[in-house]
Structure 1
Amino acid sequence: MAITGLPGGKGLVHPAPLAAAADGALMALGFIAPDATDLPTSGALLLGERARILRLRRKGAVSANGSCHLFECLDGRIAINLAREDDRELLPALLHCEPETDEAALSSLFARHYRADMLARGVELGMAIAADVPVTGVHQWFAASCRRYRAKPAHSPRVLDFSSLWAGPLAGSLLAMMGAEVVKVESLTRPDGGRLANEDFFNLLNGMKQQGTIDFQDRERLRDLVFSADIIIEASRPNALRRIGILAEQFIAQGGLWIGITGHGRLPPHDRRVAFGDDAAVEAGLVHAMKLGWDTALFAGDAIADPMTGIHAALATWHFWSQGVSALVDISLCGTMRHAMSLGLCSTEQLSHWQALAEEDGAPLYPQRLPVVTATNEMHQDVREQDGARDKSEREWISTAKWRS
C-alpha cells in the first residue's frame, strides 16, 4: 500500500489478488522442490522488497520509481517508461515536437495523438511504451518450444544467468537457494545496470551466485561457456545472442534448458518491443483495474511485473529441469502479469473489505531479507572457463553468500 495511491493520499489495495498470485507460485516452487528450505517465506515479500530498500512512495500516475508515466491520448491511455538516459531525447521524435520535459506540457502533447500511432512510433524508436487495456480471459504465463526429453537429472544444475536488473536475477537467486550452481555472467563492456542502481538490492538478487565477466566478442570462448551449462537464463531481446552466434536451438539439442525472459514475447511482432516492469504491467491490465476499482488511473506496486515474472520463471525452470525436459521457455513480463490479473478482480464490496483490513494493520507483513556476502564481488574479474569443466577449481569465479531473513 505504501507505493499505491495518490501522492499525499492514503495507500490503496489493488483489486486483483496479486500477492496471492506470487504466493501461489512460490508455494508451487516449494512443493516441487521440498528440500529447498531456504526459499523466502512469501511471494508477496518479493513483490515489495525493492521499494522497501529504496524507500519508495506512491506517486499516482507516475510509477513509484519515477520513471514510468501515464498519459491520455485522443482515444485511450498509454504508459511510457523513461528509465534510460536517452529516452527523453527520443520524445521529440515520438511526439513530432520540440524538446520538452515539463509533465504538463507532455500531457498536452500526448493528448493530440491517437494511441495506436504513439505505440507504433514508440516501438519503432525502441521505447518502452504500452497501452492501458483491460485483461480478458485466462492467460498462460509461458510457452515452451523445441521440447526434447532425457533422463531425469541426478545432479544439481549449473545455471548461467545472463540476465540483468530484476526478473531474471530473481529467478537465478531462487534457483541458487534450491541448490543450483548459478553463475552470473556479465559483458566486460556492458555490466548489469542494477550494479549502478542500488548495491543492497543488487546483492540481494545476486549475492548467492558466482560472478564473472566475459568479452562477448570472443565468440568461441562465449560458446564454450554457454555449452558448459545445463540451464541458460537470458533477458535480452530474442535475436541479441543469435547475432553473436549463440543459438538456443543448438543448446537445447544438446540437452540444455533455455529460459528466455522478454517484455512481450519472443514471436513477431512482439519480439521487437522493449519493456520494463511498470509499463509491461500496464498492458496486462494493472492500471485499468485500478481505474475500475478506485475511479482513478494509478500505478500499483513497484515494477511489479519483474518480481512476479522472476518467481514464475524459477518455477518453470525447476519444473522442466527436474522432469528431464530440454526446451526453449518463453516467459514475458506482460504475459506473466496477464496471467496474474486473469485470476480475477474482486467486487466493489470485497475491495472495500480488503482496504479496511489493510488500513487496520499498516505494519509490514514480512521481515526484509538481507544478504550476507561472504566474499568480494570483483566487477571486472574475467571469466575463465576450461573446456566446459564443471569443477569450480578450474574456474576463476568470485563470490558466494549466505542468506538470512
Structure 2
Amino acid sequence: MGVQKGRRRIMVAVAALLALGAGAAVGYRVLAPAEVVTPAQAALPPLVTPPTGVVGRLPAAPLIVDGRLRVYAAQRQLYADRPADSRHRVTPFWSYRRWPAQLDGVLVTGSTVVSRWSDGKVVALDGRTGKVAWRADGPAPGEVSAARRTGAAVVWDPRGIFVAPGPDERMTLVVSGGGELRGYALADGRELWRATGGADCRTDLGTSAAGQVLSVDACAGPASVEFRDAATGVVTGRWRPPGAGPELSVTPLGCLTPRSQCRGLRTSDGRGWLVGPGGPPLAAPALDADDIILSGEFAIGVTGGVLNGREARTGRERWRRGDLGEVRVIAVEPGRVHVLTPERDLITLDPRTGAQRSRFPLTVGEDGLGWVPGLAYAVDGYVAVERIRERARPEDDDQGWFLNSEPVVLAVT
C-alpha cells in the first residue's frame, strides 16, 4: 500500500510539472518579446492625380507615402493601406508589429517610415513594401503618453525624433530621450554620434533646414540655444536672445515635418527669429505673434480679421486677403497654406502671393458642421484633419471628444 501511494504521489508531481512546463511554454510564446513583419504581397498602386475635393473619412490619422500609400499607427503596430485616395480605410497592404513595446513616434522621409518604440528601439521600414530596412538601439523616450484612438499625436506630432539634411544630401536621423541624443545615418541606421549628460538641463527642440540640431541647454550656464551639427554631433555654437530672462523656452517654426528642418524660432518672450546656415539667428518681428506661422520665407497670419502674408525677414507685406472672413490656418506645406473658414470651407493659398489654389467644403455626407479642427497634416497636396466635437473637453473620452467613429477627414487640394 505504501509503495502504491508513493508511486501515485510521484505520478501526480510529474503531471503537475508537465502541466507547469506546458503553461510556461505557452506563456512565453504569448508574452515573450516578438516582432511580426507582414510585407506587401502585391505591387504598388499607380501614382495618380486625384481630383480636388474631399476624399473621404477615416478612423485613424494617415501619413502619405510616395503619394500612393497611407500609413497608420496603433498602440503596438504600424500598417499601410492603398491607394492614398481611397474613400475609406481598407485591408492592410503591409503590417509591422512589435510586442510588448509600444509605438512612441513615427515620421516619414521620402519612402522611409521611421518608428520609435517605448523600449528605445528605432526601426526603419521601406514604406513601399513594409520590409524592415534596419533596426537600431536608441535612447528610451521615457513614459509613453497615451494617444487618442486616431493615433494623430504619434504620426502628426511625434516627439524626440527628427531628421536633418547633411553633406551630399545624406539625411541624418536624430533621436532624443532621457537627456541623451544620438545621430544615425538614415540610409542604413549606422550610429554616427551620441551626446549624453543632459537629463536635467537640456531640452532638445528639433533640427534646422541648415542641418543643425537645436536644443535649449542650461548645463554649463544660463539657458541658451545650442546648435549641433546633425551629421557629426559637434556643438558649433550657442546663442542667447538679447535681454532674455532666467527662464528660456523656444518653439521651432516653419518646420518641414514636425520639429524637423525648421527655419525659425519663437522664444518665450514672444520674439520671432530666423535660423540660417551660419551665425546667430536673425530677428524677425513679423513672427512675434503666437498665431503667426512661417511658410518658407513668409510669415502668414490674421490681423484685424484680414489674412496677410509678409516677408519674414523684413516684415514687408506682400499680400492680404480681406475677402475670406475669420479664417484659421490649420496646416502648411511647401507652396501651400491651408485655412479653414467658420463654414468649414477649406481654402488653399499660395504663401508667396495669396492666390487661391482651391476651395471646397470640408464636409462629408451628413456629418454636419458641429466640429472644430484638432490636429492636422498636409503633404503633397493632401490634407487630413481631426474633427473634434464643439463642446468637447480634454477630460472627455474618445467617444465624447471626436465627432464620430471616423473623425479624420481627408482631402486633396
TM-score calculated relative to the size of structure 2: 0.25
Name the larger-Rg structure.
2
- Greater relative contact order structure (CA < 8 Å, 6+ sep): 1
Structure with the largest fraction of strand: 2
Larger helix share, 1 or 2? 1
